[in-house]
């Protein structure tokens, strides 16, 4: 048997992708001082498992205003020439399979399904109606299949770094008045650059101290509606 044939017999589909051929992802966790314990308990296995799948960089940005922290992370990602940035807020609970799930859609900007921390715990994904962004009701969000949206929070947001080369700095900016957080302003810049934004409803990201999944949110909405009647 020729040497080339011997080498070919040793190649199997289960062999890991060579390190140099893997996607490079920077996981960014903005925080005031440290992650909440429950979130930290999920981010550690999240990074350990995904470090076997991708070239994974981890960046915790501490003691900065949120917009400045995100901008610092973006510049670090560009300087490091990574392929994607994944923002995970320090009070979010993630699962290792969420990253490959979002990456599998091959979208430039895609979020998991997250919920606000205060009642009525609305989904932090938005559609514009007459120029006004409104949270998409959970009944209008399918359980499977990604959908295009106009804006979202950045609590669990995956962005291809080429987006940051198209959108002008500062990418995240809190200025703009009530309802114009740094994440919403980023989304407005993304849409202005004619880049689509998506959500994968199957990626249900837990939010510490809040309703953390579709089932609990639907139960809350049903109970709230009954009390209103």
- Domain hosting 32: range is 22-228
Q: Give residue-wise pLDDT tens across range 29-83.
A: 998 766 667 777 889 999 999 999 999 999 999 989 999 999 999 999 999 999 9
Residue 120 is assigned to a structural domain of this protein: yes
pTM: 0.85
How many domains, the chain? 1
Q: Give residue-wise pLDDT tens across range 135-184.
A: 999 999 999 999 999 999 999 999 999 999 999 999 999 876 545 699 99
Residue 170 is assigned to a structural domain of this protein: yes
Residue 223 is assigned to a structural domain of this protein: yes
CATH code, domain with 95: 3.90.550.40
Residue 3 is assigned to a structural domain of this protein: no
Residue 184 is assigned to a structural domain of this protein: yes
Q: Are 89 and 156 in contact (CB under 8 A)?
A: yes
Residue 8 is assigned to a structural domain of this protein: no
Residue 2 is assigned to a structural domain of this protein: no
Give the separation between CA 87 and CA 99, rounded to whole angstroms: 11
Residue 137 is assigned to a structural domain of this protein: yes
Nearest Cα to Cα of residue 204 among 127, 97, 65, 69:
97
């Amino acid at each position: 048997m020729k040497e080339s044939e011997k080498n070919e017999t040793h190649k199997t589909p289960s062999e890991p992708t060579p390190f140099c051929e893997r996607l490079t992802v920077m996981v960014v966790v903005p925080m005031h001082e440290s992650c909440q314990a429950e979130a930290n308990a999920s981010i550690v296995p999240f990074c350990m498992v995904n470090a076997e799948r991708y070239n994974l960089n981890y960046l915790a940005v501490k003691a900065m205003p949120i917009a400045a922290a995100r901008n610092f992370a973006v510049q670090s990602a560009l300087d490091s020439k990574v392929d994607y940035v994944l923002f995970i807020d320090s009070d979010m609970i993630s699962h290792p399979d969420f990253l490959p799930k979002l990456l599998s859609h091959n979208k430039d900007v895609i979020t998991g399904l997250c919920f606000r921390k205060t009642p009525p715990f609305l989904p932090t994904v938005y559609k514009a109606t007459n120029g006004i962004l409104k949270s998409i009701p959970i009944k209008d969000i399918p359980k499977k299949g990604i959908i295009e949206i106009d804006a979202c929070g950045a609590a669990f947001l995956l962005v291809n770094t080429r987006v940051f080369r198209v959108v002008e700095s500062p990418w995240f900016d809190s200025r703009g008045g009530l309802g114009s957080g740094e994440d919403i302003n980023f989304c407005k810049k993304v849409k202005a650059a004619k880049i689509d934004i998506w959500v994968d409803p199957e990626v249900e990201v837990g939010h510490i101290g809040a309703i953390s999944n579709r089932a609990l949110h639907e139960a809350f909405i049903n109970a709230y509606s009954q009390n209103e009647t």
